[in-house]
């Protein structure tokens, strides 16, 4: 995953103050806990020499109610005289942290990259649709800026929407049949209007997921009208309705389930790519020394870190990736076979590239696999 929005922070002269904080405010108790946790971090930063004015600015940012609902977090990276990065996180960091040093502390942020999922949510009926862009930096479904302006609601403009209860046939003749044909035509034209907007947003915003819910007939017509690019990422989500918005508990649960599945699928795909390249001696390397060398040579396309098993010099590896325009991804313990908890997919390789076969990089089996808890290493 590219993190180009961090460029300003990593290129800025230090010292830099970094704060990663769970800013969930779901109830008064959570607000009280947030204030207490911030005070603990603030005291630490005071001891580290952070200016009072900067701490006041950070406090205002993290303690003021945001437009984001549900569980979420915040990352702030700041020089002494300005905040360089103020980022809403789709989930809270694994733990709160604060640091003042010559370089920003980026690992807590990188560990959340799997959760950076962008979604276009579409609630459709036979008259049109309401749309909401849910980006990683604005993870709220029902709150916060929609991000779509005039495209947040589409009305097809064809208002012959309800079929006659009289039916056609010899009793009512061609008039009833013609009316029902006009109704069907209205539905289809309205679906075409929605599809045109959805296709354009998919092209321009490139969301990871297109989630569609609402009237069953309208959903079917929309699916038929969408272009190939939109259909490839479309998932139909039950429980949503344009008339009630996105507040349905069942709809939110289904969205969460679909999101979790995408996160799991992307991790499996990333590890599969790495394993595939390892198996055929292709464009991947693993191990701290090997990855560091590849970064120095500008070979890395994607840096892969195993959460909880990162090497000691992980911050340097992250900086090396960002400064060479490489992506950075974090995976769970499913990647436990990766030596030193770090690997990389490469842009290219040559004779000077370290061997990318796990078994050839070390005679130390412990380096290649961490023994399970409770199992002794030989």
Q: Would you give per-residue pLDDT tens digits along the chain (378 residues)?
A: 888 888 888 889 989 999 999 998 888 898 999 999 999 999 999 999 999 999 999 999 999 887 666 788 999 999 999 999 998 888 899 999 999 999 999 999 999 989 888 899 999 988 889 898 877 655 544 444 556 667 678 886 645 444 444 454 544 454 545 556 666 777 788 888 999 999 999 999 899 999 999 989 999 999 999 999 999 999 999 988 887 767 777 888 898 899 999 999 999 999 888 888 776 667 889 999 999 999 999 999 999 999 989 999 999 999 999 999 999 999 986 656 888 999 999 998 888 877 655 544 444 434 443 333 333 333
* Domain topology for 4-110: 3.30.960
- Structural domain spans, the chain: 4-110, 119-247, 265-368
Polymer length in residues for the chain: 378
pLDDT given at position 330: 93
pLDDT given at position 197: 93
Which of 320, 327, 370 is CA-nearest to residue 114? Answer: 327
pLDDT given at position 177: 52
pLDDT given at position 183: 67
Token pair 């800025």 is found at: 12
Answer whether 0.75 is exceeded by the pTM. Answer: yes
pLDDT given at position 160: 47
Domain 119-247 falls under CATH 3.30.70.360: no
Residue 78 CA to residue 56 CA, distance in Å, equals 12
pLDDT given at position 182: 65
Evaluate whether 226 touches 233 at the Cβ level (below 8 Å): no
For every residue of 286-330, DSSP letters joined together read ESHHHHHHHHHTT-EEEEEEETT---TTHHHHHHHHHHTT-EEEE
Q: In a 3-state reduction of DSSP, which class is residue 161?
A: coil
Evaluate whether 125 touches 215 at the Cβ level (below 8 Å): yes
Pick the CATH number of 265-368 from 3.40.50.2030, 3.20.140.10, 3.40.50.2020, 3.30.1330.30: 3.30.1330.30
């Amino acid at each position: 995953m590219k993190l180009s929005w961090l460029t300003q922070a990593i290129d800025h002269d230090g010292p830099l103050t970094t704060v990663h904080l769970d800013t969930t405010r779901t109830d008064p108790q959570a607000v009280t806990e947030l204030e207490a946790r911030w005070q603990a971090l603030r005291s630490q930063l005071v001891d580290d020499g952070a200016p009072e004015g900067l701490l006041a600015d950070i406090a205002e940012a993290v303690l003021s109610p945001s437009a984001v609902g549900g569980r979420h977090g915040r990352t702030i990276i700041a020089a002494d005289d300005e905040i360089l990065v103020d980022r809403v996180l789709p989930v809270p960091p694994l733990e709160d942290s604060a640091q003042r040093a010559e370089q920003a502390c980026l690992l807590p942020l990188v560990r959340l990259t799997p959760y950076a999922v962008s979604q276009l949510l579409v609630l459709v009926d036979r008259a049109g649709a309401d749309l909401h862009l849910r980006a990683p930096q604005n993870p709220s479904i029902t709150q916060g800026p929609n991000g779509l302006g005039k495209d947040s609601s589409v009305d097809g403009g064809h208002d012959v929407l309800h079929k006659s209860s009289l039916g056609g046939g010899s009793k009512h003749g061609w008039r009833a049949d013609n009316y029902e044909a006009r109704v069907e035509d209205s539905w289809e034209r309205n679906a075409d209007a929605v599809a045109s907007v959805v296709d354009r947003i998919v092209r321009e915003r490139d969301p990871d997921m297109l989630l569609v819910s609402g009237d069953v007939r309208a959903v079917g017509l929309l699916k038929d009208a969408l272009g190939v690019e939109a259909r490839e990422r479309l998932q139909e989500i039950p429980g949503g309705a344009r008339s009630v918005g996105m507040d349905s508990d069942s709809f939110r649960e289904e969205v969460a389930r679909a999101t979790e599945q995408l996160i799991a699928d992307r991790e499996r795909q990333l590890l599969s790519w790495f394993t595939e390249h390892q198996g055929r001696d292709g464009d991947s390397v693993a191990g701290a020394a090997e990855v560091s060398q590849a970064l120095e040579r500008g070979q890395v396309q994607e840096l892969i870190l195993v959460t909880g098993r990162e090497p000691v010099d992980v911050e340097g590896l992250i900086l090396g990736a960002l400064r060479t325009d490489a992506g950075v991804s974090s995976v769970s313990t499913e990647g436990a076979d990766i030596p030193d908890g770090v690997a990389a997919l490469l842009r290219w390789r040559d004779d000077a590239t370290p061997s990318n076969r796990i078994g050839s990089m070390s005679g130390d089996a412990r380096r290649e696999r961490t023994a399970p808890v409770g199992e002794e290493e030989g």
